[in-house]
Chains A and B, each alone.
Chain A
Amino acid sequence: MTTTTAPPAAPEQAVRRGGNSLTGTATMIRFMLRRDRVRIPVWILALTFAAVSTLANFEQTYSTVADRQSAVDLLELPAMVAMVGPNYAADEYTFGAMLGHQMFIFMAAVFALMSVLLFVRHTRAEEEAGRSELIRSSVLGRHAQTAAALLVVGGTNVVTGLLTALAISGSSAEGVTTSGAFIFGMGLALVGVTFMAIAAVTVQVTEYSRGASGMALAVLGAAYAVRAVGDVGDNGLSWLSPLYWGFTTRSFSSSERAWPLLLLVAVAAIMIVVAVYLSTRRDVGAGLRPPRLGSPSAPDSLSSPLGLAMRLQRANVLGWAVGLALFGLMYGSILDGADEMFEQISALQDMVADVEGAGLVESWVATVMSFLAMIVSIQAILAVHRLRVEESRGRAEPVLATAVSRRDWMASHLTVAFVGSAIVMLAAGIGFGATGAIVTEDGALFADMLLAATAQIPAIWVAVGLAAALFGVLPRLGSVAWIIPIYGLVIVYMGGVLGLDPATKNYSPFGHVPELPAADFEVLPLLILLAVAVVLTLVGLAGFRRRDLETK
C-alpha cells in the first residue's frame, strides 16, 4: 500500500509550488528569441510573402471572367477537392475567395509545420541534448521553459497571421475585405497554435525530439487526410480535422463566419492543459513512454540476408501499402460520378487515356491505375536504394565479411523490392477496386481493376531493375533511376494536358502497359517489360560482384 500512495504526492507538491513554477519565463523568452533571431523572422516574412504573392498571382493568371470560370470547373475535380478543399464560393469566385479556398489548407499546413518544428526545437530537443538540465538547475520554474516556448511560438503564429491579414487587406484585389483578411489570417495563426499545443503534448510522451515532431506531424498528416476524404465524400467527416475548422470560416465569401475558430481555441487550450499536467508526471530528460527495449536475442526469421532485408524494410512496405490503399479507396469512391464529371469538364478529358470504343469510366480507371503505378515505382526505387544506404553507412561491410555472398546480399534487398512493390501496387488496386465496385454497384469491376493493377507490376519492376543495375555498375549515379517515375508522371500522365506527342510515352515502361480495363489485355508487352527488368537486375548483380565495396 505504501508504494501506491507515493505517486499522488508528487502533483500535490507541484501545486504547492505552483506560485513560482513560472519563475524565469521572461528570461527564457528572451533566450529563445535570441537563438531564433534569424529563423523566426524568416518564417514570418516567407509566410506573409507567400500569401500576398499568391493573391497577386491570381490577379494576373485569371484576369478574365472566363478564366475564373474554367478554374472553378477544374477545382470541381475530386482530386482538386481532396487537395485544396471544396469550393464554397463557386458563384462569387473573386480573387479573395480564390485565396481563401485554394490557399488556406496549404498555408495552414505550413503554419502547423512551423509551429511543431519551432516548439520541439525549444523544448524536447533541448532536453535531449542535455541543455535543459543545465538551465533547469538554475533559478527557473518547473513550467518556465514550456510556458516560454508556448508564448514564443504562439506569438510567432499570431504575428504572422496579423501581418498576413494586414498585407492582404491592403491589396485592392477584387473580393478582398478587411474582415475576410482577418478571419483568414487568424484562422492560419490558430491552426498553427493548435498544432503547437499538440506538439506540447507529444514532447511529453517521447524522449526523442524526432519522435515528438514525428508524432505531431503525423497528427497533421491525419488531419489533412481526414479532411481530404471528408471533403470529397461531403459527409461531415471533415469536422474531425482542425485544418477544416479554419477552412470552413469561408473567408472572403458572403457566407463568411468566424465561430469555427473557437473550436481551434478550445482544442489548443485543452491540449496545453493536458501538456502541463503530463509534464508534472515525468522527470527532466525522460519521456512518459520509457525507451522501448527489444528482444535480447534474434528471432529465427533473422538468420539470413533475406530475413534481415525483410526486417529492415517491412515497416516501409506496410506504410506504403496502407497509404496507397487509402489513396485507391479515395479514387474508387468517386468512380460513380466519373461520367458526370467528364461531361462537364473538358480539361479532364485530355488527361485520360484515349482508347477507342472504351467508356470514360474505364479510361479513367486505366489512367489512375497508371498514375498509382508511377507512385509505387517511387517506393520500389527507394527499396533498392536501401542497398546503397547500407553500403555507405558501413553496415554492409560486416555482413559481407560473414558467409554471405555479394549476390545473396544484394538479391535479398532486391527480393524485398520486387515483392514489396507488387504488394503495394496490389494494395492500391484492391483499395481502388473495392470502393469503385461498391459505388458503381458493379462487382465484376473489382476483378477487372485488380487485373489492371497486376498488369502494372512489370513496369514497376523495370524501375527496380534500373535501380539495381545502377547500384551494381555505377553506384554514384543511383539517382538516375528517378527518371522512371519523373518521366512517367510528367510525360506519360500529364502528356495529354501538356499536348505532347503520344509517341513520347514509348520511352517509359508505363507507356507500354495495356490500358486495362479500357483496352484489351496483351501479354507480349508485359513479357518484354519483365525481360528488361530481369536483364537489368542481372547486370546489377554481375556488376556488384566485380566492384569494390565502398567503405567509410
Chain B
Amino acid sequence: MTGVVKTFGQTRALNGLNLQVETGEVHGFLGPNGAGKSTTIRVLLGLLRADSGEVSLLGGDPWNDAVELHRRLAYVPGDVELWPNLTGGEAIDLMGRLRGGLDQARRKELIERFDLDPTKKGRTYSKGNRQKVAIISALASDVELLILDEPTAGLDPLMETVFQDFILQAKAEGKTVLLSSHILAQVEKLCDKISIIRLGEVVQSGTLTEMRHLTRTTVEATTTQPANSLAELPGIHDFEHDDGRVRFAVDGDQLDGALRGLTQLGVRSLISHPPTLEELMLRHYGDELEASNGGRHAASGAEQN
C-alpha cells in the first residue's frame, strides 16, 4: 500500500498510509485503538475503497479482483458476529466452503485444540467462542495469506498460547500472516516484522531487532549496595533511587549492560517488565497523542513519566 487515504465524512481514517508485507513473513500491525488498523485491513479486503493511493494485494487489486484474491486468503475480524441460528460447526464449514474448501482433518484438530463445542447455536456463544469459530475456519482453510484483525480479543491465556502455536505452524508452512494487534507482547512473540500505525499513518516499520531502540524495559530492583553508579550507564532513563531500592528504564539495546551493572551490586529482588504499546506510543509521540486522544490519556501518561 502506498499513500493510501481514506476519509469518512470529516474524519481522515487513513492519511497517506504505506505498508509493505513480504511473502512468507509474519507481519505485526501495531497501533492503539482507532489508529486505522481495521480500516487498513478492510481496504486490503476490498470492503472499503481507498480515496487515493495505490493498493496491491497478492499481485492484484483488492477492489476489482476481490473474489479471486479472497480465494487465496482467510480473514478473522476483530469482533466476530455469527448467525444466531447456525451452529458454530456450520459457520466454520460455511465460511471455509465459501473460501473454496477446508481441510477436514485440520478442522477436527483445531476444534479439539481450541476446545470448541461446534454443536452450539451462534446466539449461545460467548465472545471468545465466536472468535474461536472464525479462527478455526480461517486456519483450516488452505490459503496463502492470513489477515487477522485483533484475533485473540476475548480468548483466555491458554487459548492465546494455542493460537500462537498455530500461527507459528502456519509460518513454518510458508504462509504469510498480517496480524493486527494493540498488544506489543503478542506481536513480539510471533512477528518477523512490525509496522506501527498511528493516526492513519505507518510511523515505524522494520524487524524486531531494528525496533529494539524503541522498546525500553522498566527494571525495579532492591540491592545490597547503593546503585547510584547505574545512572551513569548509557541508555538509562528515569533513574530513581531510594534506600536500596532502584527503579529505571533502559533502552532495549542497552539492557545487557545495565543488568551487568546491577548484578554486581548484590540483587535481592528484581522485577522487570517490557513496555506496553501505550508507553511506547506515549514516549515517542506523546505530545501529539495528547492532542488527538484527549485529556484522560494524556493525564495518565504524564504521571507515568
Please list the residues of chain A having a beta carbon within 8 angstroms of any beta carbon in chain B: 291-299, 302-305, 307-308, 311-312, 393-395, 397-406, 548-549, 551-552
Output the least CB separation between A394 and chain B (Å).
Answer: 4
Contact at A551–B38, with CB atoms within 8 Å? yes
CB within 8 Å for A297 and B90 given contacts A398-B95, A403-B70: yes
Top-7 shortest CB links A-B: A298-B93, A294-B87, A402-B98, A296-B89, A401-B75, A293-B119, A298-B90
| A–B complex contacts, Cβ < 8 Å, 13 sampled | A293-B121, A294-B87, A294-B90, A294-B119, A294-B121, A295-B87, A298-B89, A299-B90, A302-B86, A302-B90, A311-B86, A403-B70, A403-B99
CB within 8 Å for A303 and B97 given contacts A295-B119, A395-B82, A552-B79: yes
Chain B residues whose C-beta falls within 8 Å of the C-beta of A308 in the assembled complex: 83, 94
Cross-interface CB contact of B119 among A296, A395, A400, A551, cutoff 8 Å = A296
B85 interface residue per 8 A CB criterion: yes
Chain B residues whose C-beta falls within 8 Å of the C-beta of A293 in the assembled complex: 87, 119-121
Contact at B89–A295, with CB atoms within 8 Å? yes
CB within 8 Å for A304 and B98 given contacts A393-B81, A398-B134: yes
Contact at B80–A398, with CB atoms within 8 Å? yes
The distance in angstroms between the C-alpha atoms of A400 and B75, with both chains bound, is 10
Chain B residues whose C-beta falls within 8 Å of the C-beta of A394 in the assembled complex: 77, 79, 81
Chain B residues whose C-beta falls within 8 Å of the C-beta of A400 in the assembled complex: 45, 47, 66
**Overall SS of chain A's interface:** loop
Chain A residues whose C-beta falls within 8 Å of the C-beta of B70 in the assembled complex: 401-404
B124 interface residue per 8 A CB criterion: yes
A-B pair number, CB within 8 angstroms: 113
Give B121's nearest chain A residue, CB to CB.
Answer: A294
The distance in angstroms between the C-alpha atoms of A531 and B276, with both chains bound, is 61
Chain A residues whose C-beta falls within 8 Å of the C-beta of B45 in the assembled complex: 400-401
The distance in angstroms between the C-alpha atoms of A318 and B91, with both chains bound, is 23
Give A292's nearest chain B residue, CB to CB.
Answer: B121
B100 interface residue per 8 A CB criterion: yes
B154 interface residue per 8 A CB criterion: no
Chain B residues whose C-beta falls within 8 Å of the C-beta of A304 in the assembled complex: 97-98
Residues facing A in B19-53 (CB within 8 A) are 38, 42, 45, 47-49
Output the least CB separation between A386 and chain B (Å).
Answer: 11
The distance in angstroms between the C-alpha atoms of A403 and B95, with both chains bound, is 10
CB within 8 Å for A305 and B98 given contacts A401-B70, A548-B47: yes
B3 interface residue per 8 A CB criterion: no
Output the least CB separation between B94 and chain A (Å).
Answer: 5
Output the least CB separation between A348 and chain B (Å).
Answer: 44
Residues facing A in B64-110 (CB within 8 A) are 66-68, 70-71, 73, 75, 77, 79-83, 85-87, 89-95, 97-100
Cross-interface CB contact of A295 among B75, B90, B147, cutoff 8 Å = B90
List 18 additional A-B contacts (Cβ < 8 Å) besides A311-B86, A397-B77.
Answer: A293-B119, A294-B120, A296-B87, A297-B118, A397-B42, A398-B80, A399-B98, A400-B45, A401-B45, A401-B70, A402-B75, A402-B95, A404-B67, A404-B98, A548-B48, A549-B42, A549-B47, A551-B47
Contact at B48–A549, with CB atoms within 8 Å? yes
The distance in angstroms between the C-alpha atoms of A399 and B77, with both chains bound, is 11
Give B38's nearest chain A residue, CB to CB.
Answer: A551
The distance in angstroms between the C-alpha atoms of A298 and B102, with both chains bound, is 12
CB within 8 Å for A402 and B118 given contacts A302-B94, A397-B77: no
CB within 8 Å for A551 and B90 given contacts A296-B118, A395-B82, A401-B75: no
Give B88's nearest chain A residue, CB to CB.
Answer: A296
The distance in angstroms between the C-alpha atoms of A393 and B82, with both chains bound, is 9
Give A548's nearest chain B residue, CB to CB.
Answer: B48
Give B90's nearest chain A residue, CB to CB.
Answer: A298
The distance in angstroms between the C-alpha atoms of A293 and B121, with both chains bound, is 7
CB within 8 Å for A401 and B71 given contacts A296-B89, A297-B118, A551-B42: no
CB within 8 Å for A302 and B93 given contacts A294-B87, A397-B47: yes
Give B71's nearest chain A residue, CB to CB.
Answer: A403
Contact at B98–A403, with CB atoms within 8 Å? yes
The distance in angstroms between the C-alpha atoms of A312 and B71, with both chains bound, is 24
The distance in angstroms between the C-alpha atoms of A400 and B73, with both chains bound, is 12
Output the least CB separation between B193 and chain A (Å).
Answer: 23
Chain A residues whose C-beta falls within 8 Å of the C-beta of B147 in the assembled complex: 401
The distance in angstroms between the C-alpha atoms of A393 and B98, with both chains bound, is 19
The distance in angstroms between the C-alpha atoms of A312 and B45, with both chains bound, is 25
Cross-interface CB contact of A303 among B38, B94, B118, B120, cutoff 8 Å = B94
Chain A residues whose C-beta falls within 8 Å of the C-beta of B49 in the assembled complex: 548
Chain B residues whose C-beta falls within 8 Å of the C-beta of A305 in the assembled complex: 98
Chain B residues whose C-beta falls within 8 Å of the C-beta of A403 in the assembled complex: 67-68, 70-71, 98-100
Chain A residues whose C-beta falls within 8 Å of the C-beta of B38 in the assembled complex: 551
Output the least CB separation between A153 and chain B (Å).
Answer: 28
Give B141's nearest chain A residue, CB to CB.
Answer: A402
Output the least CB separation between B4 and chain A (Å).
Answer: 14
Chain B residues whose C-beta falls within 8 Å of the C-beta of A291 in the assembled complex: 120-121, 124
Chain B residues whose C-beta falls within 8 Å of the C-beta of A393 in the assembled complex: 81
The distance in angstroms between the C-alpha atoms of A293 and B124, with both chains bound, is 10
Chain A residues whose C-beta falls within 8 Å of the C-beta of B93 in the assembled complex: 297-298, 302-303
Contact at A312–B47, with CB atoms within 8 Å? no
Give B147's nearest chain A residue, CB to CB.
Answer: A401
The distance in angstroms between the C-alpha atoms of A397 and B45, with both chains bound, is 10
The distance in angstroms between the C-alpha atoms of A303 and B73, with both chains bound, is 18
Give B69's nearest chain A residue, CB to CB.
Answer: A403
The distance in angstroms between the C-alpha atoms of A395 and B42, with both chains bound, is 14
The distance in angstroms between the C-alpha atoms of A477 and B90, with both chains bound, is 33
Residues facing A in B122-148 (CB within 8 A) are 124, 134, 147
Output the least CB separation between A323 and chain B (Å).
Answer: 20
Output the least CB separation between A408 and chain B (Å).
Answer: 8
Output the least CB separation between B291 and chain A (Å).
Answer: 26
Output the least CB separation between A297 and chain B (Å).
Answer: 5
Contact at A405–B67, with CB atoms within 8 Å? yes
Chain A residues whose C-beta falls within 8 Å of the C-beta of B68 in the assembled complex: 403
CB within 8 Å for A398 and B90 given contacts A403-B98, A548-B48, A549-B48: no
The distance in angstroms between the C-alpha atoms of A398 and B148, with both chains bound, is 12
Which residue of B73, B98, B147 has the most chain A CB atoms within 10 A of its CB atom? B98
Contact at B83–A312, with CB atoms within 8 Å? yes
Give B89's nearest chain A residue, CB to CB.
Answer: A296
The distance in angstroms between the C-alpha atoms of A54 and B268, with both chains bound, is 86
Output the least CB separation between B149 and chain A (Å).
Answer: 10
Give A406's nearest chain B residue, CB to CB.
Answer: B66
Contact at B66–A405, with CB atoms within 8 Å? yes
Which residue of B94, B100, B134 has the most chain A CB atoms within 10 A of its CB atom? B94
Which residue of A393, A401, A403 has the most chain B CB atoms within 10 A of its CB atom? A401
Chain B residues whose C-beta falls within 8 Å of the C-beta of A395 in the assembled complex: 81-83
Which residue of A294, A311, A402, A404 has the most chain B CB atoms within 10 A of its CB atom? A402
Contact at A298–B47, with CB atoms within 8 Å? no
Chain A residues whose C-beta falls within 8 Å of the C-beta of B75 in the assembled complex: 398, 401-402
Give B137's nearest chain A residue, CB to CB.
Answer: A398
Chain A residues whose C-beta falls within 8 Å of the C-beta of B82 in the assembled complex: 395
The distance in angstroms between the C-alpha atoms of A511 and B120, with both chains bound, is 48
The distance in angstroms between the C-alpha atoms of A517 and B293, with both chains bound, is 69
Residues facing A in B160-195 (CB within 8 A) are none
The distance in angstroms between the C-alpha atoms of A552 and B47, with both chains bound, is 12
The distance in angstroms between the C-alpha atoms of A304 and B96, with both chains bound, is 11
